[in-house]
Structure 1
Amino acid sequence: MTRPSPQTERLLDLFELLASRPDESLTLADIARSVGVNKATVHPMVVALAQRGWLLRHPRRHTYRLGPSLVAAGRVAARGHPVIDAARPVVREVAESTGMLCLALVAGAIPGAHDDLMIAEIGQPGLDAAAGAGADLLTSAYGGIRLGQRIPIQPPLASVCVAWTDDATIDRWLARLGADRPPDALARVAPGLAAVRDRGWALEVENRMRERLGSLAAELDEDQRNAAQAALLRRIIDDIGDRFDLGDALPATVDPAARYRASAVNAPVFDAEGAVVLVLCLLLTPAGHTGVPARTGAELLTLGDQVRAAADALTVATQGRRPHFAGSERV
């Protein structure tokens, strides 16, 4: 594993601090205090960044904000990934039409680590396009979701990224479960992945049963007289996890009359070779809610088809193509 660089981490903390407060200019003392170091440590960094135009220093107030060189870098980044540029208005349209947060996710590899999905665009309902362009950090209501944030690809998350691949790729994806991987994991997810291909979108369902049972076991542990019951409950929890987690979290069918605690609907955008290049993710947890609300299958089917239509339109607009799937191979 690559060693972290404290100096680099401080530099990134500085940029994220200023990006999170776009309407403010901060003094050297403000920056040092927020980053958690003394002014002598921060001073050489801000001087070098100001010289390159990455920071802008006010001549009289001696405060700092992000500089024009970052604008140029951002334009270059957008040109280098045209599908993200094309996704921006789509993400905002989906957010407005559903009243929910919509994300555009792209693959983001780190040397020596598993690939992640990275947030490339954020659509927030009720946020106009002009304000949305500067909304790099959404705090409070959505738990600090921000551009560039990484999301580990842990099964069943990112099922839309592997549903059109072969069994070997799916098996490597399942290997990320580590010790929690059941021996028949591939067989368990196969129906769910087939459903993802048929629907063109994936439904991620929260597994709250283990969480509730775990809380109960913790309460029993607090009383020594219930130690045996707590131990038995923990064995039941493990058994539930072994038997139901993967299948429940990636349902093969969505019953319109049933209710699901679904956390997200995801749909893939494909490139010219038929590979997933971007994922549209609709977050189903409303602002201010701590839990995942139950929704009817009919509502989820409508939302899924809406996100898929947006993803399909992006595929066409960026000259991509949906792959044909035959057996266990993508063609």
Structure 2
Amino acid sequence: MGRRGTGTTETGSGTARRSPPTERVVQVLDHLVARPGVRFGLSELARELDLSKPTCLGILTALTDAGYLIRDPVDKTYGLGPALIVAGRAAQRGFASGPVAHRHLASLADEFGAVCSASAVVGDRIAVLDVVGGRGAASAARVGEVYPFAPPVGLMYVLWDTDERVEQWLRREPTLPVAVDRDDLWRIVTECRRAGYLAEALTPGGRRLYALMAGVVAHDLAPEMREMLAELVASPGERVLLPGAFAAGERRAVNLVAAPAYDPDGHQSLVLTLHLEREVDAVEVERCGTALVAVADAITTDLGGRRPLGRSGVAGSGC
């Protein structure tokens, strides 16, 4: 790659060391990506990349185990693997959907004087892909933020998909040790599918917790810290505002309203979010939800997607 041994480079905090082992991994991937359809043996790759055979073998083994490469068991050659297809499609979806979502969300942000965002599950994380607007809630979301995609975080990213997608999410190792009331959760799923959108309210402590979780892999936290954070997390039933949650004339603090956009196969591809961050009544929540669903449908159409069968704002058997 011509960059090994260059030492350090400037960053915003001064200097940051390069990582030669990481650069060698990138070197291997770049070499194979530049030669699609060609397979290489260990000795050939090590020679062409000027790597020792043990080093090259270690890289190839790790990438093969992760699915980024495949190894032919007969001739012992290596080629590009299926995990790269998944990664490429995820990146393509994010870049392709960005301008489309941005255009639609900009008008919505202006209408409600609020931040709007588009986010999606990329790999095993939730990633914020676009943020529009900035009045009143500039810190509601930031492009590039990532969050764990595992209970109790991420229900809205499978809520409008199939029951099996919801179950797959529930089976993921929990981000924090929080018990999920399945009956309560499926009641939320049913009601939100019927409405077409979700409204959510978090306590100030809950909002700070989710802000702190941005970029954090909770599984790496000490057990004591995970248990402490779990005590601060509200269950879906406590933070999702279902129809009937408001008393007549009551105003409540609502953090966000969310709705899905779909891909050509009828699966959720994006979650569009209107970050209200203010007190509203039931009428205002419904107005926001209706407008957001219309925007989500327009984005779905522009991206060549479609609503799943039986999902026209009212729960159907296709759920």
* 1:164 corresponds to 2:160: yes
- For the 8 Å contact 2:261–2:271, the answer to whether it is kept is yes
1:85 aligns with 2:74: no
Residue 237 of structure 2 is matched in structure 1 by 247
Partner of 1:221: none
Q: Give SS of 2:120's match.
A: strand
**Retained in 1: the 8 A contact 2:252–2:281?**
yes
The CA deviation at 1:328 is 9.5
Residue 99 (structure 1) aligns with: 113
* Residue of structure 2 in register with 1:275 after alignment: 267
Residue 324 (structure 1) aligned with residue 309 (structure 2): yes
| TM-superposed deviation, 1:323 | 1.0
Amino acid of the structure 2 residue aligned with 1:258? E
For the structure 1 residues 80 and 200, does the alpha-carbon distance in structure 2 shift closer, same or farther, using more than 3 Å as the test? closer
Query: Measured at CA, do residues 155 and 98 of structure 1 come closer, stay the same or move farther in structure 2, by a change above 3 Å?
Result: farther
8 Å contact 1:265–1:281 — kept in the other structure?
A: yes
Post-superposition offset of 1:188: 0.8
* CA apart distance, 1:145: 4.3
Q: SS at the partner of 1:320?
A: coil
Residue equivalent to 1:142: 138
The equivalent position to 1:259 in structure 2, one of 251, 262, 265, is: 251
Distance 1:163 1:79 in 2: 20
C-alpha deviation, 1:151, in angstroms: 2.9
Partner of 1:295: 280
Distance 1:209 1:259 in 2: 20
C-alpha change, 1:78 and 1:172, in structure 2 (3 Å) is closer
Instruction: Give the conservation status (yes or no) of the 8 Å contact 1:156–1:249.
Output: no
Partner of residue 188 from structure 2, selected from 187, 192, 196? 192
Instruction: Kindly report the root-mean-square deviation, in angstroms, between the aligned alpha carbons of the 2 structures.
Output: 3.8
Report how far residue 300 of structure 1 moved: 1.1
Distance 1:251-1:144 versus aligned 2 partners, 3 A rule: closer
Q: Measure, in 2, the Cα distance between the counterparts of 1:78 and 1:94.
A: 25
Over 3 Å counting, the alpha-carbon distance change for 1:209 and 1:324 in structure 2 is same
8 Å contact from structure 2 (residues 152, 178) kept in 1: no
User: Which digits, 9 at most, give the CA deviation of each residue in 1:219-256, with x for residues without a partner?
Assistant: xxxxxxxxxxxxxxxxxx97x98xx8331212332546
Deviations 1:173-201 (A, max 9, x none): 2353552114xx22111111112111111
Distance of 1:311 and 1:163 partners within structure 2: 15
- 2:178 matches 1:180: yes
Closer/same/farther in 2, CA of residues 178 and 328 from structure 1, 3 Å limit: farther
In structure 2, relative to structure 1, the CA distance for the partners of 1:80 and 1:303 (3 Å cut) is closer
Gap regions ≥5 residues in structure 1: 1-13, 15-27, 43-76, 110-114, 127-139, 212-236, 286-292
Alignment pair present for 1:117 and 2:126: yes
Instruction: Report the CA distance between 1:89 and its aligned residue.
Output: 0.8
State the AA in 1 paired with 2:250.
A
Cα distance in 2 for partners of 1:94, 1:270 equals 19
Distance 1:159 1:141, change over 3 A: closer
- 2:157 touches 2:268 (CA, 8 Å); kept in 1? yes
Matched residue of 1:97: which SS? helix
Q: CA deviation at 1:260?
A: 2.6
Determine the C-alpha separation between the residues in 2 that align with 1:281 and 1:82.
Answer: 18
How does the TM-score come out when normalised to structure 1? 0.54
The structure with more helix, counted as a fraction of residues: 1
Aligned pair 1:304/2:289, yes or no? yes
* Distance in structure 1 (CA, Å) of the matches to 2:263 and 2:290: 20
Unaligned 5+ residue runs, structure 2? 1-7, 19-90, 208-229
> C-alpha distance in 2, partners of 1:191/1:79?
31
2:148 pairs with 152, 164, 168, which one? 152
Q: Which amino acid aligns with 1:313?
A: A
- CA offsets per residue over residues 243-282 of structure 1, 9 Å max, x none? x833121233254633332211111000111011111111
Map Cα deviations across residues 275-309 of structure 1 (whole Å, 9 max, x no partner).
Answer: 11111111122xxxxxxx43212111111111111
| Aligned equivalents of 2:206, 2:127: Cα separation in 1 | 28
Number of corresponding residues: 213
Q: Is the 8 A contact 1:265 1:282 kept in 2?
A: yes
Question: Percent identical across equivalent pairs?
Answer: 22
TM-score of the aligned structures, taking structure 2 as reference length? 0.55
1:67-111 residue CA offsets vs partner (Å, 9 max, x unmatched)? xxxxxxxxxx779743222112112111111110111112211xx
